[in-house]
Structure 1
């Protein structure tokens, strides 16, 4: 192996395993935990949904979390560099994940901005009683009609100003780096988020009608277990919830020290994320039970998910409940913190990839990445068309971005490159919980089957029924066009030459891994080849 070194700066690292765990949980615990899981569980059979949910967590979520950890930690790089070090032909997979994060970042920021503004609105009940829906769509967003009026790009100040603040705060955090920025922020925000949500749940439980909501949430509908769609919903939610398959956990695990318990950390992250989701379900449905009683309707009539739950249903609850402003501040404050911790993890995938590819320093890479993304975010999502663009981009990037790249990644790594034994060996060399044949079968066989089923189902649905009743030209640009463009651009980015300061053979710490595990990178491609029996 060549001993030539052109770079002596070590890769950034988390201060400790605990900081990594908090950061990984902060990435996993996002908006979907609060506004998506409760409704998915309710629709999927209530208490009975916990069975497919736990099956999905144990057979897909945690195994794929280990899969991402092993790639990032073993190959010591951002998603593109880690996949390149695995095999040169796999590099486009990493860029595909990076580009998915680019799309998510530009619209995720505006939801954080909305939540921040609603934290302020809650203290004053700005929307007024009985006016919550009109206030959000007409007064706050000033939403235009895409179907009849085309793209309306009028600036909305009450969205644009907080969105700008969100980007400034995020840029500062990212510029400070992994240890002083991302790690430090998660050490503060995640405990604060947890405390705020526990207080919110306790308050919600004492609202009149809370028990009706909990009964609706937990009462099992055992017949739902016979519906394949319920199982598909459980697996689909787990894939999105744990931040697997789009570069975040690959990047984060590359910042871990050499001797780190990877599988033990993954178990903590996986179960902590699920614990927060169940806590969110309790709080949300207790509040919805109060809302149903106040309006003299059944819980099913007020139950919803996503933006409708967060920015219409919860403001209604805040307006009607005793101590409503406190509930509102806690709920939207928690939503803001959860969104912010997830957003910085999404941006880190992009920043780390640029650093590795071009050999740039932290601050330079941060500014080159975040300022253009912030400008794009402001241009599209502080306007009257924001919600339609967000809704379409989110639906397509989740269905045909995250699930598609996850499917291709496990097939390529498991069946084309035959790297699961290498990853298994790496996990077992450093972890308290050892993985074996079952893990390889779950990742290499079960995951592709489930992901393939979900992807085909989504494809059929969106072909047969145009999403959201948006016009064809709109879906062609912000839906199908975006999905196809991501793949083409990922291949194009992989063709750009790597900086000499970032190539696999120039990383001393990576070479230490290879020496220890008796693997060697090809001098030209970065491909790993076994030199002595290392368990592969």
Structure 2
């Protein structure tokens, strides 16, 4: 006997969980750098254009799919077109692969949270991170031994994720997000308020927001804007389709999509103000130009910021602790959503119990994640993340809009969401799904492939890019095709279309 499908306790619970998924590490360490390198204030033009022509339309599409067909990604897509089920399994596999390295970054964050009390990274934060902490080897194929603090941190992160997801949608994910997300926002506001009052903060803010209008006509800037919106909203990962499948029948889908997009956007701006104020302080203190202290990703969080906290005295201990709590909470709200996106399809397809599926995913995650707790961990993260984002997620998004825009019909989703929403979306949504978003995604994909041919990613050897990059993409597709050939254990699940 199949269990009744779980539901969110409230629409607010769903919105908070969806925003929690969208607000992740990329908002804090990717957006400020992307904005800075792509025209500063001028970047806001392509950025907002991307939100309205790709971000919100795709959110409405994914929310509508999940809600209309009451299923996880493979189930919802197979209800639209049976032969396309594998397109739902591919993002499921991608989400799990992302989880394996995301847990390592969160492990680093847990360790750095502990370090921040005493500034244990010392005077040379770069050497500490690469040599003393992650013990980076000389090549992606040289693993070295396990690094105990990172391994312990990885296990701890998986246990936290397991505990939250094991308890289910309402009692686990919704409750956790209602605590984590507001706390995260409050901490970031505290950091931003203190940061803008630092000496030199205006140098950073002027650098970030001064418009470079010549960049607006550069196609690469527009690609960067669409890429940022696409990745930061957790699109094409199976998360939003799965989350919306737990919504009650009468839910305002269109309004929910706008709220999620703008809340995520607001947090990105808040993070950018905090990050660049702190980097401006560093540039002023050292008497160097901003481009010498600005960095992105891992370098910003674990090298640049610890160096800044060193210069702040006791304030550095406080801001450092708050910053790493921020990173941890942002990461947890995203990783929890990824686990749900992976577990829900198996529950739907095979009728397995939630507790067993979640436990199984976390156990396998710990085993695979342990590979990142070696001296080659940073190399694996760098290569796999690049290929999953630039090829896996982009192609899945392209297939989604092609399925709804060209094979089925945009009206299939638009009519459904308009029927239950206060705010009705017009034909502009059809145009975005059918023409604008596919064109942008194809352009992004072609550019990525051409760049890869000209200059292989990161200067890595082709053998490493094949072993950890292209092979992961190929593996995801083959496994998706294999699982999609298996029979659905509960035939009645296909009858549950509203």
TM-score interval for Structure 1 and Structure 2 normalised by the shorter chain:
over 0.9
Say if 1:39 and 1:303, in contact at 8 Å, map to a contact too: yes
Say if 2:195 and 2:278, in contact at 8 Å, map to a contact too: yes
Say if 1:359 and 1:501, in contact at 8 Å, map to a contact too: no
Distance in 2 (CA, whole Å) between partners of 1:260 and 1:48 is 36
Residue of structure 2 equivalent to 1:529: none
Task: Determine if the alignment matches structure 1 residue 55 to structure 2 residue 49.
Answer: yes
Larger radius of gyration: 1
Say if 2:233 and 2:261, in contact at 8 Å, map to a contact too: yes
* SS of structure 2 residue aligned to 1:127: coil
Task: Determine if the alignment matches structure 1 residue 160 to structure 2 residue 151.
Answer: yes
Shift of 1:419: 2.8
Distance in 1 (CA, whole Å) between partners of 2:447 and 2:302 is 29
Say if 2:54 and 2:432, in contact at 8 Å, map to a contact too: yes
Residue of structure 2 equivalent to 1:123: 117
Residue of structure 1 equivalent to 2:257: 266
Q: TM-score, normalised by structure 2?
A: 0.98
Superposed CA deviations along residues 51-98 of structure 1, whole A, max 9, x for unmatched, are 111111111101100000000000100101111111211101100110
Distance in 1 (CA, whole Å) between partners of 2:152 and 2:324 is 18
Task: Determine if the alignment matches structure 1 residue 141 to structure 2 residue 134.
Answer: yes
Task: Determine if the alignment matches structure 1 residue 308 to structure 2 residue 308.
Answer: no
Shift of 1:153: 4.0
Residue of structure 2 equivalent to 1:412: 403
Distance in 2 (CA, whole Å) between partners of 1:70 and 1:132 is 46
Of the three residues 431, 437, 440, the one matched with 2:430 is 440
| CA spacing shift, 1:502–1:392, aligned 2, 3 Å | farther
Task: Determine if the alignment matches structure 1 residue 324 to structure 2 residue 316.
Answer: yes
**1:4-403 correspondence to structure 2 within 5 Å:** 7=2, 9-129=3-123, 131-146=124-139, 150-322=141-313, 323-378=315-370, 380-403=371-394
Residue of structure 2 equivalent to 1:481: 471
Say if 1:358 and 1:502, in contact at 8 Å, map to a contact too: no
* SS of structure 1 residue aligned to 2:117: helix
Superposed CA deviations along residues 345-368 of structure 1, whole A, max 9, x for unmatched, are 011111001100110111011112
* SS of structure 2 residue aligned to 1:125: coil
Distance in 2 (CA, whole Å) between partners of 1:112 and 1:373 is 14
Shift of 1:501: 6.2
Superposed CA deviations along residues 476-497 of structure 1, whole A, max 9, x for unmatched, are 1110111122112111110011
Say if 2:27 and 2:268, in contact at 8 Å, map to a contact too: yes
Distance in 2 (CA, whole Å) between partners of 1:502 and 1:165 is 38
Superposed CA deviations along residues 254-274 of structure 1, whole A, max 9, x for unmatched, are 010110001111111100000
Distance in 1 (CA, whole Å) between partners of 2:16 and 2:482 is 35
Residue of structure 1 equivalent to 2:440: 450
Shift of 1:176: 0.5
Structure 1: gaps of 5 or more residues: 1-5, 514-536
Distance in 1 (CA, whole Å) between partners of 2:286 and 2:452 is 35
Say if 2:159 and 2:362, in contact at 8 Å, map to a contact too: no
Distance in 1 (CA, whole Å) between partners of 2:436 and 2:349 is 33
Shift of 1:420: 1.3
Superposed CA deviations along residues 415-457 of structure 1, whole A, max 9, x for unmatched, are 12x2311111101011112112110000111000000000000
Shift of 1:502: 6.4
* SS of structure 2 residue aligned to 1:496: coil
* Superposed CA RMSD: 1.1
| Superposition misfits of 4+ residues, deviation over 4 angstroms | none
Superposed CA deviations along residues 218-265 of structure 1, whole A, max 9, x for unmatched, are 111111101111111001110001111121000000010110001111
Say if 2:19 and 2:264, in contact at 8 Å, map to a contact too: yes
Shift of 1:473: 1.6
Superposed CA deviations along residues 350-391 of structure 1, whole A, max 9, x for unmatched, are 10011001101110111122211221111x111111000000
* SS of structure 1 residue aligned to 2:167: helix
